[in-house]
Amino acid sequence: RENFCSSITAEPAMIDVGRSCILVSIGGKNIMLDCGMHMGFNDDRRFPDFSYITQNGRLTEFLDCVIISHFHLDHCGALPYMSEMVGYDGPIYMTHPTKAICPILLEDFRKITVDKKGETNFFTSQMIKDCMKKVVPLNLHQTVQVDEELEIKAYYAGHVLGAAMVQIKVGSESVVYTGDYNMTPDRHLGAAWIDKCRPDLLISESTYATTIRDSKRCRERDFLKKVHETVERGGKVLIPVFALGRAQELCILLETFWERMNLKAPIYFSTGMTEKANHYYKLFITWTNQKIRKTFVQRNMFEFKHIKPFDRSYADNPGPMVVFATPGMLHAGQSLQIFKKWAGNEKNMVIMPGYCVQGTIGHKILNGQRKLELEGRSTVEKFFYLKSLYLEVKLQVEYMSFSAHADAKGIMQLIRMAEPRNMLLVHGEAVKMEFLKGKIEQEFNCYMPANGETTTVTTNPNVPVDISLNLLKREMSLGGTLPDPKKPRTMHGTLIMKENSLRLVSPEQAMKELGLSEHHLRFTCRVQLQDPHSDADTLHRIYMHLKSVLKGYTTQHLPDSMSVMVESIVVKVSSSTEDPNTKVLLLSWSYQDEDLGSFLSTLLKKGLPSVLC
């Protein structure tokens, strides 16, 4: 192909954080990147609008594969809905840790949504199991051949256990999708890494597009100070987290601090989640950072002395305590229940350690809202208990970014690491993305499509061709000095395509290899000339004219055959049957002398000069 068009269709979460779903078309292949749900909606807007792909039901006929970057629900939460309710039977690629953890989080969220809230139009437990049967696990740095033309390769992304960036290649064209990533190593995971793969397009998240974080150590010190001060004054601290990721990071931090300070206030974690997390970190220890891998045999960093399982009755206990509760944005579940109980006491504190999408309770309180409308009440309850419709928020609200997303500095670091030809920003807020886009455009082309918008990126692919040594030697002998490697040079040869490789060889070598005999191709041109002389005199006049004009060429006069030869070009003269003064010149030449033949035909059409020396 002369050029490559990669069409990127932005499902919701391009200019947004939540419900990530991107359709990439590259070299005739269609790949879906992530399939998430939006935590801020409880209606049809929760899932991506798959009508962008097809209006006619199932997606199997339109998608070559689906790739999931990591297990967070805003990246995988709509997967069973897409595969089992909309309809997709093709391969779904994700790493081994993501494959293990994803169904557990999907089932937990299904229980909250269906069993507790009673919502309909949601996937079932069996659908989750059927969906996971279609999953093909990926290993890091392993090239997986999806079909004869499409291949994918996973790179370490940090962020959470099992998170991966993915390179997609079709022929010589490639796209890298980052998913969520972190360029800073932390207490339990390493930093994201990718080689200098120079993709045609790099699709990067931009959650913290305008943020450059302060020192990690300063943030940790500030976090420990706020928790310590709150428990010292008898208050309770709620830390909403997702089950795996920041939870383990902050647990390790508090466990170490409690041990050093000999503190007695209890620390709790959502029941069951500690055990599950511990199990998966043991199982996938190779995905953690170097320090944890080295010390794991002597001491498991995820077995905590001071952190105990939480029972919902503990929320009413008097006295100070620290509770890690899921989910992380206060949009449902145990964290929201505890928040409602503790919100009315100014001695308490809630620390939001990560990003909260619009529409969640977490997003509302971080934006200063101190009266929250409670959901889930019936119309009758709302009519009779108007006072209890709103929750007064009196506790202290703190935002401390322990988010495992790359900041603006980290995003630029990854771009320089991969050296893409084009950039495309997703998974961010429009105003912040626009600012980062301006910075990136100082060095790279950058796109920022809106939700539902298609962006087409055109590139000129390089097609590798092997050149035979004999041909190179021949070209060098013709060219004299060695060619300048920075300047393009035309080479004449025969292009052979064999077993998916291209070779440029001399015509003689090509005929020998392919068992072909040589054919001679000549071009012919007819020119009419007004000249009153005999044919022989006209021929002589043509010979003299060409000899005077083409001094660097071999010109021969052949009167026996009534012709003149210049290199391989033959000029024959004859009189017109209708008018003896009109001479008909027949010119013929081989394809090697095509330029000279064209020049001669143009020259003779102008006629012969009246005086010839």
Residues belonging to the active site: 205
Contact 37, 484 (CB under 8 A): no
Q: How far apart are CA 540 and CA 555, in angstroms?
A: 12
DSSP 154-212: EEE--SSTT-EEEEEEETTEEEEE--S--SS--SS-----------SEEEEE-TBTT--
Strands (E), 14-139: 22-26, 29-33, 65-67, 92-95, 135-138
Reduce the DSSP state of residue 432 to 3 states and report it. helix
Q: How far apart are CA 46 and CA 82, in angstroms?
A: 12
Contact 26, 168 (CB under 8 A): yes
Strand order in the sheet with 4-10: 135-138, 92-95, 65-67, 29-33, 22-26, 4-10, 454-459
Q: Which of the 8 DSSP states describes residue 327? A: -
Question: Please, what is the end-to-end C-alpha distance for the chain in angstroms?
Answer: 55
Reduce the DSSP state of residue 265 to 3 states and report it. coil
The full length of the chain comes to 613
Q: How far is CA 77 from CA 23, 71, 136, 157, in A?
A: 17, 8, 18, 19
Contact 385, 408 (CB under 8 A): no
Q: Closest by alpha carbon to 403, among 217, 160, 237, 155?
A: 160
Please count the other Cβ atoms lying within 10 Å of the Cβ belonging to residue 438.
Answer: 10
Q: Closest by alpha carbon to 81, among 112, 111, 106, 56?
A: 106
Question: Tokens representing 5?
Answer: 């068009």
